Amino acid sequence: MTTREEFATLHGKWALVTGAGRGIGRAIALELARAGACVVCNDIDPRTATETAALIHLEGHTAMPYTADVSDRHAVQRMVDDVVAATGRLDVLVNNAGVEPSASILEMDEETWDHTLAVNLKAVFLTSQAVGRVMKAQGGGAIVNISSIAGVRNPLALRAAYCASKAGIYGFTKECAREFAAYNIRVNCVCPGVIVTPMTEAARRNPAIMERWRREIPVGRLGTPEEVARVVRFLASDEASYVTGQAYFVDGGKAMH
């Protein structure tokens, strides 16, 4: 008989986390490893991907760094082929890699728009397709996409491309969940609010922005990467066996306005 603890853990599962070199991605990689998963730590930066894998090894768990640009179709297919050749399976995919360039719509150049949409949205399609084929063949899996409250509820000033890409993830997640349900693959997304990571570092140095955030966030503080990672771990585990096509807000209540 399966115990509740067995549902909650990821023992024996292989997980791929994109953008795992720092911030929320690193916290997710560590959280999944602590729950028993073996984790492939992807990042575009080989140094940080290796650092995250080393942190997981230090805690006595299994991890593998993998450098790849997730917006590059060939690089994604090569990564998935290499991982499956080494592990034999992929049970969990977390699409976390993201960029957040700042520009007004009137000033934004086409390259900025294209790069943001490629890394934040096209990559989610590319990895879901490549990993989805593996999961279908092996009989199931779980995908968790990192969107943002900025795409769904609270647009972020001077981040039109970012907001559009994160709204795209929200829509893609739902249709992906509908299509992949037939293959026993669950697909959900997490919408973080303001989280303490390198991505929000510049804004956090601005006292006026910090003051506004404290007023706007009902719990009165910013979130930590670990608080996002715990929700991702739940959605990746069999504890969430009847949850698919959903968006979970991890935002201290900010997006309920």
Task: Please list the active-site residues.
Answer: 162
- Two structure tokens written together for 243: 């949850």
Residue 65 contacts ligand NAP per CB under 6 A:
no
Residue 176 identity: C
- Cα separation, 218 vs 3, in Å, equals 36
Minimum gap (Å) between residue 238 Cβ and ligand NAP: 24
Of the listed pieces 30-38, 192-200, 205-213, 229-237, which binds ligand NAP according to CB under 6 A? 192-200
Q: Decide: residue 127, CB within 10 A, 0-12 exposed, 13-18 middle, 19+ buried.
A: buried
Residue 25 contacts ligand NAP per CB under 6 A:
yes
Q: Which string of x and - marks every residue 198-237 that binds ligand NAP (by CB under 6 A)? A: xxx-------------------------------------
Residue 140 identity: G
163 with 156: CB under 8 angstroms? yes
Which residues have a Cβ under 8 Å from the Cβ of 62 and sit 6 or more positions away? 33, 38, 39, 56
Is the Cα torsion angle 115, 108, 104, 164 positive or negative in sign? negative
Among 9, 21, 53, 66, binds ligand NAP (CB under 6 A): 21
Minimum gap (Å) between residue 211 Cβ and ligand NAP: 17
Query: Looking only at residues 112 through 151 of this chain, which bind ligand NAP when binding is defined by CB under 6 A?
Result: 119, 146, 148
What does the binding site for ligand NAP look like in residue numbers (CB under 6 A)?
Answer: 18-19, 21-25, 42-45, 48, 69-71, 96-100, 119, 146, 148, 192, 194-195, 197-200
